[in-house]
């Protein structure tokens, strides 16, 4: 049972490219990666595409299929309509090398920066004792196949090249969470590290990463949120912080407490003191003024910011107490579409010189 | 061509080709010995084949059944390999595996636990006691990620000490080695290309460790990925090393057979270890009819006894579904041939009727996932359709058991993991590969480092050898009249699958050799369309010659060995022949063509052979060997009496 199907595949390299049309034979039970292999064997022998296991285990074949980040080997053709054109494009967030292959070295750099497991000093190999319930929490994160689909959809990386320095992304938040929950890891500062060095504060819990994870790891619910909450507990609870200042005998209380997030003032996102949980709209007065006067070519993209903590010193939303069932809009709840043109932060390359 | 001047050059003490379990473990060891080490991999870091291993890593830690120890593991390994194993490798492997697994915990691995908090161990085909350390059914992922993260931690140390992550250990991902370079009979370096850019790269190094994995891509129905083109086997041959046991290929009994596009993808043995049974189209548990005499004593004869074993293994014999892989693969093959197969040409593997849905999802999460997503089959509700798939090559580079140094006339070349031969004899037990990678990876890395230390002068790379390598690599791009590499690969797969498959016959093997010779002519003229940047057609064109020479080794050795043993089944010689147990078939290159020679197996040390019953040995050994054994037992007895 085979039929000809219409495929559109992005072909090109870092200098540019376009979608090319192919009519390919598709047999019953096939996945998108099979079709790509058939194309390589017939019409497009040099079509570049990564793959290894063909069974959703290695995370090599990440691509965007009809705009959705997917594993090519786990996307069955039967999930598309008979007449539907299937469009396959490379991951958007990373620079293209050729065709469907992108440069994912960003992720390996971030992996290298995350401090490794610290073995307990006084436990000999063979003497490690842990309970199954305790290892299971970390094991969930160790299921990660490093497909980088979560990194690809995270708007903090995708929309803001300049964030890449300070933001490691969901894959590495769960690495930190995994080590934090490891029963025998000797380091105790995993959460603080995530906040201070990995840019956990940039994450505004849009849950896009969890949605695309092919391993169904609950990146936000089980990884990011517990890390954020406990960081808040320990360091950012204003009452605790004030208390430690006021009630210590013989010291004058500090008076300059204006925001609960002082401890993370080194992060560009939080230093603004804004409380908006979205990346698109701007509430920066200068940018707003520029937008009003129609000069928006150089309008600075506002940094995404963590939501403010509530009066108990906690983040206002955990997925359990949130007022809606689904994930919040990745663009923020106060943005409606279509956006007025002056709010778009599109910078036209040719016009750049004029201002 | 004068392109050689523009080639990127690197100097290392130890170059490890392959970033799977064996390669990473070797690199860690070389770096710990203070050597400047490079790791080279055809795919991205952390994606090597090891990631796909499911079931677990065998190590006699005795956590679940305290009767387990290295002697029992050694016995199981030798039995599984039908006594053709290099006994010394099997011994080292059985003794050192537990330490290697425990070491992984100090790198951060999180294995599943027993009630008292130790590493849990599961049952697997051919292992007498529960022995496989595991993490659900993604043990390989845990292993490779752990080693990957250990390398990162070493790089972080180097960064603190020298200011650069790459100071002493560097990973070259998506880089393929096409040639080893020699200085006389000594390794001088390795030549290859970046897949991404197509640019060439030259490593100058006195020690090279091969850890390139297997050869399964020469078969159509296979659990192996595109990487498994036998590169390491071919590189070793061309450098003057030898291969042994190339006729032994393991066909895993349970690959998916439906849908056609995923044919070959593995269904882990744990399904059977956890209670799954094999049934034919008549609903019969047919494995009871296929227990060979050598295993009769260890396997249950009734379904009732087999079912009791899961909860009370000490007082019952194990179910025949857990026979070694070669036996199960052959049994399935016979059932299908006899017309009792499933609609898609396999048999049924049923766990749905035997365990609760909840338990299946907990114990076999990735199998549940795999069938749901790839085949739209809910394994908690219906049986799976399975059949044999090409899985593992027992044969490989002939090495010194203790150091992993390659035999033949080359120095400075080491091999570990699936690319090396001898450890598994004629058939590998499930779970023995992951522990093999760790044990022999560490050994090879350590010995490669000390070999480099012992040299007084570094071998030199000859300029004309590099030029020749460049020319060979570019040739397919410059031809536009030859055939497409994809066509040639398909033709090769047909020859190997049809004529050198699970069941072999003399006529077909001879025919295969003729066809392989024809293919060799065609492969020499292959042409690849497109440019040098990330061009999979070109990459395949370069891999083809490796696949071809390795396939020739397999076909030649399969024709020569006139018996059936483990991963080599001859329809015309169905019995196992004690005389053939004394022989290893050794392949080497003579100019361009494969030469086959016979070599006697090393003789097992008395204290090791006496771990077996005489009755069991009688099934494997020749009469002379048995007389020898009796004499040594008598000697030992006398010594005791004195
Ligand atoms: C589906 C599946 C399930 C398995 N399950 C188990 C199990 O449960 N237990 C068990 O013990 N074993 C299992 N095995 C077997 C085991 O996984 C492999 O034998 C083992 O992982 C091989 O490891 P390796 O280190 O030798 O090579 P690999 O992990 O295969 O790595 C080979 C490396 O070499 C590189 N390479 C190859 N050629 C070149 C070249 N020319 N230039 C540069 N780099 C190159 C590759 O890129 C790769 O990095 C399984 C195998 C498969 C396929
Ligand atoms: S929740 Fe949203 S912002 Fe946070 S890491 Fe995931 S995708 Fe990025
Ligand atoms: S967390 Fe999930 S989506 Fe992200 S890299 Fe790992 S497997 Fe992929
Ligand atoms: S090929 Fe491995 S995940 Fe798709």
Query: A169-192 burial string, b = 16+ CB within 10 Å, else e?
Result: bbbbbbbbbbbbbbbbbeeeebbb
Q: Residue A72 — φ and ψ, nearest 5°?
A: -60, -30
3-state secondary structure of B494: helix
User: Which residues of chain A make contact with B46, given a CB cutoff of 8 A?
Assistant: 146
pLDDT surpasses 90 at A265: no
pTM, entire model: 0.84
- Which two three-digit tokens encode residue B419? 């690319």
> Left (φ > 0), alpha (ψ -120 to 50) or beta: where does B425 sit?
left
Cα(A170)–Cα(A154) distance, rounded to whole angstroms?
Answer: 8
Q: What is the dihedral of CA B485, B488, B490, B493, to 10 degrees?
A: -120
Nearest to A331 by CA among A204, A181, A171, A185: A204
The pLDDT of B416-422, averaged and rounded, is 97
Q: Which range is most confident: A293-302, B131-140, B325-334?
A: B131-140
pLDDT of residue A335: 61
In Å, what is the CA distance from B470 to each residue of A41, A170, B6, B41, B208?
Answer: 26, 42, 11, 19, 20
Domain assignment present for residue B115? The answer is no
Cα(B119)–Cα(A16) distance, rounded to whole angstroms?
Answer: 52
Distance (angstroms) between ligand 1 centre and the Cα of B253 equals 19
User: Which residues of chain B make contact with A31, given a CB cutoff of 8 A?
Assistant: 261-262, 374
Domain assignment present for residue B129? The answer is no
User: Is omega for the bond preceding A139 within 30 degrees of 0, making it cis?
Assistant: no
Q: Residue A62 — φ and ψ, nearest 5°?
A: -65, 135
Q: Which residues pair with B193 in a beta bridge?
A: B176, B200
Q: Which of B135, B262, B538 sits opposite A54 (nearest CB)?
A: B262
Nearest to B24 by CA among B154, B151, B164, B157: B151
Q: What is the dihedral of CA A107, A109, A111, A116, to 10 degrees?
A: 180
The residue whose two tokens read 């029992």 is: B72
**Percent residues over pLDDT 70 in chain B:** 99
Cβ of A145 closer than 6 Å to ligand 3, yes or no, is: yes
> Helix B139-162 crosses helix B21-32 at what angle (to 10 degrees)?
30
**Residue B398 and residue B294 share a domain:** no
Q: Which of B112, B150, B533 sits opposite A98 (nearest CB)?
A: B533
Question: How many residues are listed for chain A in this entry?
Answer: 355
**DSSP for B503-568, written as a single string:** EE-HHHHHHHHHHHHHHHHHHHT----S-STT-HHHHHHHHHHHHHHHHHHHHHHHHH--S-BTTB
Cβ pair B41, B23 in contact under 8 A: yes
**Could you list the residue range(s) of the whole structural domain that residue B364 is in?**
252-388
**Closest ligand 3 atom to the C-alpha of A146?**
5
**DSSP for B182-201, written as a single string:** EETTEEEEEEEEETTT--EE
Cβ pair A283, A276 in contact under 8 A: yes
The pLDDT of A133-148, averaged and rounded, is 95
- Which two three-digit tokens encode residue B128? 């007498």
Inter-chain contact A117–B153, Cβ cutoff 8 Å?
yes
ipTM above 0.90 for this complex: no
3-state secondary structure labels for all residues of B251-276: EEEEEECCCHHHCCCECCCHHHHCCC
Cβ of A214 closer than 6 Å to ligand 4, yes or no, is: no
Domain assignment present for residue B99? The answer is no
Inter-chain contact B117–A51, Cβ cutoff 8 Å?
no
**Residue B285 and residue B153 share a domain:** no
**Residue B239 and residue B259 share a domain:** no
**Residue B226 and residue B166 share a domain:** yes
Cα(B128)–Cα(B126) distance, rounded to whole angstroms?
Answer: 6
E runs forming strands in B565-604: 569-570, 583-590, 593-600
**Closest ligand 2 atom to the C-alpha of A208?**
7
Cα(A303)–Cα(A268) distance, rounded to whole angstroms?
Answer: 7
**Whole-number CA gyration radius for chain A:** 23
Q: Which one is catalytic: B325, B363, B561, B565?
A: B325
Cα(B60)–Cα(B100) distance, rounded to whole angstroms?
Answer: 11
The β-bridge relationship of strands B14-17 and B121-122 is: unpaired
pLDDT surpasses 60 at A234: no
User: Which residues of chain A make contact with B102, given a CB cutoff of 8 A?
Assistant: 125-126, 128
| Contacts of residue B461, Cβ cutoff 8 Å, sequence gap at least 6 | B181, B183, B188, B189, B202, B204
- Which two three-digit tokens encode residue B409? 């006339």
**Residue B462 and residue B438 share a domain:** yes
**Residue B258 and residue B244 share a domain:** no
Cα(A332)–Cα(A274) distance, rounded to whole angstroms?
Answer: 14
In this predicted model, what pLDDT tens digit does every residue of B211-228 receive, in sequence order?
Answer: 999 999 998 888 888 889
pLDDT surpasses 60 at B169: yes
Inter-chain contact B156–A112, Cβ cutoff 8 Å?
yes
| Contacts of residue B474, Cβ cutoff 8 Å, sequence gap at least 6 | B1
Nearest to B286 by CA among B355, B337, B334, B352: B334
Q: Which of B388, B423, B453 is the last residue of a domain?
A: B388
Domain map of chain A by residue range?
104-278+303-338
pLDDT band at A330 (very low <50, low <70, confident <90, very high): low
Domain count, chain B: 3
pLDDT of residue B6: 76
In this predicted model, what pLDDT tens digit does every residue of B249-294 receive, in sequence order?
Answer: 998 889 888 777 778 888 888 889 888 999 999 999 999 999 988 8
Q: What is the CATH number of the domain that holds B453?
A: 3.50.50.60
In this predicted model, what pLDDT tens digit does every residue of B314-351 receive, in sequence order?
Answer: 899 989 998 878 889 889 988 988 889 998 888 999 99
The pLDDT of A229-247, averaged and rounded, is 49
pLDDT surpasses 50 at A355: no
Query: Which DSSP symbol is given to B374?
Result: I
In Å, what is the CA distance from B62 to each residue of B75, B226, B259, B551?
Answer: 15, 37, 40, 40
In Å, what is the CA distance from B52 to each residue of A53, A66, A302, B375?
Answer: 7, 28, 42, 18
Q: In this predicted structure, which of A94-103, B92-101, B493-502 has the lowest mean pLDDT?
A: B493-502
Tell which wins on pLDDT, A207 or A349: A207
**Residue B225 and residue B289 share a domain:** no
B325 has catalytic annotation: yes
Cβ pair A300, A272 in contact under 8 A: no
In Å, what is the CA distance from B183 to each residue of B113, B462, B476?
Answer: 50, 7, 27
**Residue B384 and residue B398 share a domain:** no
Cα(B624)–Cα(B582) distance, rounded to whole angstroms?
Answer: 11
Cα(B59)–Cα(B357) distance, rounded to whole angstroms?
Answer: 30
Nearest CA to ligand 2 atom 6: A209
> Left (φ > 0), alpha (ψ -120 to 50) or beta: where does A120 sit?
beta
Domain assignment present for residue B537? The answer is yes
3-state secondary structure labels for all residues of B417-483: HHHEECCCCCCCCCCHHHHHHHHHHHHHHHHHHHHHHHCCCCCCCCHHHHHHHHHHHHHHHHCCCCC
Domain assignment present for residue B294? The answer is yes
Q: What is the dihedral of CA A160, A162, A165, A166, to 10 degrees?
A: -70
First to last CA, chain A: 60
Q: Which of B358, B388, B418 is the last residue of a domain?
A: B388
pLDDT band at B363 (very low <50, low <70, confident <90, very high): confident
pLDDT band at A212 (very low <50, low <70, confident <90, very high): very high
- Which two three-digit tokens encode residue A97? 């090398």
3-state secondary structure of B77: helix
Nearest CA to ligand 2 atom 4: A203
pLDDT of residue B260: 74
CATH architecture of A104-278+303-338: Orthogonal Bundle (1.10)
Q: Which residues pair with B201 in a beta bridge?
A: B8, B192
Cα(B434)–Cα(B432) distance, rounded to whole angstroms?
Answer: 6
**Residue B429 and residue B376 share a domain:** no
Nearest CA to ligand 1 atom 29: B20
The pLDDT of A33-58, averaged and rounded, is 92
**Residue B326 and residue B188 share a domain:** no
**Residue B260 and residue B226 share a domain:** no
Distance (angstroms) between ligand 1 centre and the Cα of B214 equals 7
Domain assignment present for residue B427? The answer is yes
pLDDT surpasses 60 at B460: yes
**Residue B525 and residue B430 share a domain:** yes
Mutate to test the interface with A, among B21, B39, B47 (most CBs of A within 10 A): B47
Cα(B500)–Cα(B490) distance, rounded to whole angstroms?
Answer: 15
pLDDT of residue B223: 83
**Closest ligand 2 atom to the C-alpha of A330?**
2
Inter-chain contact A46–B530, Cβ cutoff 8 Å?
yes
Nearest to B59 by CA among B110, B106, B103: B103
């Amino acid at each position: 049972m085979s039929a000809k199907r219409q495929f559109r595949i992005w072909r090109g390299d870092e200098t540019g490219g376009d979608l090319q049309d192919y009519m390919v034979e598709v047999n019953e039970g096939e996945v998108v990666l099979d079709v790509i292999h058939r194309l390589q064997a017939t019409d497009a022998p040099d079509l570049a595409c990564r793959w290894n296991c063909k069974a959703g285990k290695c995370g090599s074949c990440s691509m965007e299929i009809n705009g959705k980040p997917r594993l090519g080997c786990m996307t069955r053709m039967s999930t598309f309509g008979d007449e539907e054109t299937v469009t396959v494009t490379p991951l958007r967030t990373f620079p293209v090398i050729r065709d469907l292959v992108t440069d994912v070295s960003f992720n390996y750099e971030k992996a290298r920066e995350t401090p490794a497991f610290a073995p307990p000093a006084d436990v000999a190999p063979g003497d490690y004792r842990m309970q199954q319930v305790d290892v299971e929490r970390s094991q969930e994160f160790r299921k990660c196949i490093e497909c980088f689909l979560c990194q690809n959809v995270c708007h903090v990386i995708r929309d803001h090249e300049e964030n890449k320095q300070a933001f490691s992304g969901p894959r590495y938040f769960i690495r930190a969470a995994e080590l934090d929950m490891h029963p025998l890891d000797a380091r105790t500062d995993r959460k603080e590290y995530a906040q201070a060095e990995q840019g956990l504060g940039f994450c505004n819990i849009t849950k896009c990463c969890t949605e695309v994870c092919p391993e169904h790891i609950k990146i936000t619910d089980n990884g990011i949120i517990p890390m954020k909450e406990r960081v808040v507990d320990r360091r950012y609870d204003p009452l605790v912080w004030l208390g430690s200042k006021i009630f210590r005998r013989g010291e004058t209380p500090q008076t300059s407490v204006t925001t609960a997030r002082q401890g993370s003032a080194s992060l560009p996102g939080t230093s603004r003191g804004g409380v908006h949980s979205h990346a698109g709209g701007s509430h920066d007065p200068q940018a707003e003024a520029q937008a009003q006067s129609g000069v928006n070519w150089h309008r600075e993209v506002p940094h995404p910011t963590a939501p403010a903590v509530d009066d108990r010193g906690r983040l206002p939303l955990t997925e359990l107490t949130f007022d809606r069932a689904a994930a919040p809009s990745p663009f923020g709840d106060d943005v409606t579409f279509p956006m007025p043109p002056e709010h778009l932060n599109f910078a036209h390359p040719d016009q750049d010189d004029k201002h | 061509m004068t392109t050689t001047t523009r080639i990127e050059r690197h100097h290392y003490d130890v170059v490890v080709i392959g970033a799977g379990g064996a390669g990473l473990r070797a690199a860690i060891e070389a770096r710990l010995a203070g050597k400047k080490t490079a790791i080279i991999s055809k795919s991205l870091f952390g994606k090597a084949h090891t990631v796909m291993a499911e079931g677990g890593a065998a190590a006699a830690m005795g956590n679940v059944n305290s009767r387990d120890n290295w002697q029992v593991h050694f016995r199981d390994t030798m039995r599984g390999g039908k006594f053709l194993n290099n006994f010394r490798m099997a011994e080292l492997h059985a003794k050192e595996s537990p330490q290697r697994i425990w070491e992984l915990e100090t790198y951060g691995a999180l294995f599943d636990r027993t009630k008292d908090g130790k590493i849990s161990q599961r049952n697997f085909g051919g292992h007498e006691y529960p022995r496989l350390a595991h993490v659900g059914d993604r043990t390989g992922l845990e292993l490779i990620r752990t080693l990957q993260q250990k390398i990162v931690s070493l790089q972080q140390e180097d960064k603190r000490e020298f200011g650069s992550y790459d100071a002493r250990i560097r990973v070259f991902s998506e880089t393929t080695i096409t040639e080893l370079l020699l200085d006389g009979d000594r390794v001088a370096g390795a030549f290859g290309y970046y897949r991404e850019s197509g640019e060439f790269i030259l490593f100058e190094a006195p020690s090279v460790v091969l850890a390139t994995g297997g050869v399964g891509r020469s078969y159509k129905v296979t659990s192996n990925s595109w990487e498994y083109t036998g590169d390491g086997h071919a590189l070793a041959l061309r450098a003057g090393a030898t291969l042994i046991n190339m006729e032994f290929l393991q066909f895993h009994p349970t690959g998916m057979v439906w849908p056609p596009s995923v044919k070959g993808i593995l269904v882990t043995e744990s399904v059977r270890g956890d209670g799954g049974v094999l049934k034919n189209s008549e609903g019969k548990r047919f494995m009871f009819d296929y227990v060979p005499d050598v295993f009769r004593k260890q396997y249950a004869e009734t379904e009732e006894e087999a079912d009791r074993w899961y909860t009370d293994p000490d007082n019952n014999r194990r179910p025949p579904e857990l026979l070694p892989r070669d036996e199960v693969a052959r049994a399935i093959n016979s059932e299908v041939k006899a017309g009792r197969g499933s609609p898609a040409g396999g048999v049924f593997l049923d766990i749905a009727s035997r365990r609760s849905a909840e338990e299946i999802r907990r114990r076999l999460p990735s199998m549940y996932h795999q069938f749901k997503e790839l085949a739209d089959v809910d394994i908690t509700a219906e049986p799976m359709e399975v059949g044999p798939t090409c899985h593992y090559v027992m044969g490989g580079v002939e090495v010194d058991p203790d150091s992993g140094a390659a035999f033949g006339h080359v120095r400075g070349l080491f091999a570990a993991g699936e690319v090396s031969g001898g450890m598994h004899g004629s058939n590998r037990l499930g779970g023995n590969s992951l522990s093999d990678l760790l044990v022999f990876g560490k050994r090879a890395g350590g010995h490669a480092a000390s070999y480099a230390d012992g040299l007084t002068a570094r071998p030199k790379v000859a300029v004309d050898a590099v030029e020749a390598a460049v020319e060979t690599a570019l040739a397919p791009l410059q031809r536009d009249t030859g055939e497409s590499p994809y066509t040639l690969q398909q033709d090769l797969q047909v020859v190997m699958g049809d004529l050198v498959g699970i069941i072999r016959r003399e006529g077909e093997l001879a025919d295969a050799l003729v066809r392989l010779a024809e293919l060799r002519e065609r492969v020499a003229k292959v042409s690849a369309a497109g440019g040098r940047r990330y061009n999979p057609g070109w990459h395949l064109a370069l891999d083809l010659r490796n696949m071809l020479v390795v396939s020739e080794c397999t076909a030649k050795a399969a024709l020569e060995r006139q018996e059936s043993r483990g991963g080599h089944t001859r329809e015309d010689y169905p019995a196992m022949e004690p005389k053939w147990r004394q022989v290893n078939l050794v392949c080497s290159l003579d100019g361009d063509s494969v030469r086959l020679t016979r070599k006697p197996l090393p003789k097992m040390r008395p204290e090791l052979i006496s771990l077996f019953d005489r009755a069991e040995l009688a099934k494997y050994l020749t009469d002379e060997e048995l007389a020898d054994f009796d004499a040594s037992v008598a000697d030992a007895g006398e010594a005791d009496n004195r």
